[in-house]
A and B are shown apart, each in its own frame.
Chain A
Amino acid sequence: MLEQQVAAADDEDRRSLEAFRRGDRRAFEALVRRHQKPVWAVALRFARDRDAAEDLAQRAFLLALERVDELRGAFRPWLMRIAVNLAKNHVRDHAKFDRGATPEGAHEPLPDEAIDGERRRRQVRAAMAGLSDRQREVVMLRIDAQLPFAEVALALEITENNAKVTFHQAVRRLRELIGGVDGGL
C-alpha cells in the first residue's frame, strides 16, 4: 500500500516536470508546493537568515530541474539529497557553521516555553556541526526531509540497516555534545 502511494507520488512528480518542460509553469509550482516544506526544513537547519534559506531551497529545485535527465529512481529522495548537498556546500562556502543564530524571520520569539524551545534549537544546530558528514546527512534526510529509512538508504546509496546504525551513532554523538547542558538529551 505504502509502496503504491510512493510510486503514484513519484509518477505525479515526473509528470509535473515533463509538463513544465513543455511550458506548463503551474505544474512546476505544484511540484514545489508538494516538496517545499522538507526542503525548507533542510535549508533552515543551516542557513543564517531567511534569504539564504530561500536561496538554498530554490536552488535545490532548480538544480533538480537541470539534472532531471540524470534521475534514476524516485524523485523525492533525489531532491532531498540535492538539498542536503547544497546545504553542505553552503556551510563550506561560508567557512563556518552557524552555531547559534536563528534565521531572521524564521519565527517571532515567544515568551516562556518558546524561549526554551529557541535555546534548544540553537543547541541542536551547534551540535550538528560536530557530526560527520554522513551522520549529518542521515539525520537531515530522516528528520528534516522526513524520508523513511528505505529512501534515506536509496538517496545515500547505502543499505537501510547502515542508515539506521548511522542514525543511532549520530544521535549518540549529539547526546555527548549536548549532554550536560540543562540535562542534555
Chain B
Amino acid sequence: MAACDERLPALVDQATGALDPQGEAALEAHLAACPGCRDEGRALRSATALLAATSDVPEGFALSGFAARTAARAETFRDRSARGLWWSLTRGVRLALGLSAGALAASLALFLAAPAAPSPASDRGVAPAAEETFAEADLAPARDTTVVTLDSAFDALSGDDLEEFDQLLEENPT
C-alpha cells in the first residue's frame, strides 16, 4: 500500500530527525491509521540511518594539518590572484594609452600625407594604417565583470573557468 503523497515531506523530516514536536504528534496520529505511510516511514528511517552511517568521516580519520595546508595554499593563490587582478585592472589604462597613441599616429599620418583625393578611410576620420597598428587582442572586449548570478557561477564551475582554476592551482602547488 502506497504512502500518502502529502505526507511524504513529513515522513522525510521524521526520518532525518527534523520534525518538530507538533509535526511529530500530527504524523503519529496519521500513521496510526495509515499502514502505507507506516511502512514507508519505517523504510525511510532505515535507509536514512544507513546513509548517515556510511557517510561520516570515519572514526579516527585524521584531519590534522588540513586547515594549515589549505591556508598555505590559499596564501599563494591569493598573492597570485592579486597580481592577476592588477594586470586586469590596468588593462583599461593600457588600452586607453594604446588608442591615444594610435589616434596621435593617425593624425600625424594625415598631416604628413600628400593632399590627394579623399580616401574612404578619411571619411570615417581614421586612417586604415592606424587601425592596423592595434593587435587584435588589445581590441578584444574586456572580460565581463558584472555580477553573475549564483546559477551562472555554478554553471561556470564545470566549464572553462574551472579548467583555468585547475591550471592556476597546478602552478601553485602546496
A interface vs B, CB < 8 Å? 20-21, 25-26, 28-30, 32-33, 36-37, 40-41, 44-45, 54, 57-59, 61-63, 65-67, 70, 72-73, 78, 81-82, 85-86, 88-89, 92, 106-108, 117, 120-121, 124-125, 139, 142-144, 148-149, 157, 161, 164-165, 167-168, 171, 174-175, 185
Contact = CB atoms under 8 A, between A and B. Distances in A.
Size band of the B side of the interface?
35 or more
Given A67-B153, A70-B153, A37 B63 contact: yes
Interface stretch (B28-36, B69-77, B90-98, B125-133): B69-77
A185 B149 CA distance: 39
Interface secondary structure of B, over-half rule: helix
Ordered nearest first, which 4 A-B pairs have the shortest CB separation?
A107-B58, A32-B67, A185-B47, A164-B9
Given A58-B70, A63-B165, A65-B74, 6 more contacts: A20-B71, A25-B72, A36-B66, A58-B66, A167-B16, A185-B43
A4 to B, nearest CB: 17
A124 B71 contact: no
Contacts of B78: 20-21, 65
A85 B158 contact: yes
